[in-house]
Amino acid sequence: MGKYLSVDLKDQVAVVTGATRGIGRAIAEGLAVNGAKVACIGTNAEKLQQTVEEIGATGVEVTAHLCNVALSENVVKTAEEIIARYKTVGILVNNAGITRDKLLRGLTDSDWDDVIAVNLRGTFLMTRAFCETMRRAKKGRIINISSVSGLQGNRGQSNYCASKAGIIAFTRTVALELANRNITVNAVAPGFIDTDMTVGLSEIVKQVAKDSTPLARFGQPEDIANAVLYLASDWASFITGQVLPVDGGMTV
């Protein structure tokens, strides 16, 4: 287990998309360590079950839900299953995301559509599916995982940057719409984080990334999880519509 911020999430129910690896897994783990019941959503059945079993060892209830967040019918069905089980959901973390990095001249229609579908449409579908139970409860925390790529351009990532910038605009708008129901909506924008997505990068690319980060290193998944834990806690009850960069100073 990683080192996580200590907050009181006992009796809370949290949903985390893209929970099978990297940042999503760390977020699910951090929530469980702090007492929340966690519904983990992913598309790889084997990894999802492994994640649930290992996090469940904390003694907190953790459940697995296979779902493609880009498909409306999948999302509606999964949301119904989770709400039927837990009655309400107080925390939603939209973390699921993919990349299809190419320069614009080589970017295909499917490269664009797939990234927008999972990253941006998925965030919309999940938020729409769970916000009503929060509205009825008159409380809730929605935390969307954007990226520094949504705050600044990055060569070869026009599709990814567009999706992450869209998440920021979506976050700010939904925060305004749900504020009167005591539901906060915020985004976390990670910089370069040490996950399996960065492991495959060449040493040259890694060095360039570190050189562009004032702290001169990659962050850890727990760094993002701790930002999420803070925003999910009562300590952040007066924060909404904001974007929190966790990037080692990249966007200073």
242, 121, 20, 174: CA torsion to nearest 10: 30
- Cross-sheet strand order for the sheet of 243-246: 62-66, 37-42, 13-17, 91-94, 140-145, 183-190, 243-246
| DSSP assignments along 86-105, one per residue | HS---EEEE---------GG
Measured at the CA of 85, the angle between CA 81 and CA 90, to 5 degrees, comes to: 95
Distance CA 114, CA 99 (A): 9
160 catalytic? Reply is: yes
List beta partners, residue 184: 141
Catalytic residue chosen out of the listed positions 4, 86, 160, 230: 160
Q: Which residues are catalytic?
A: 160
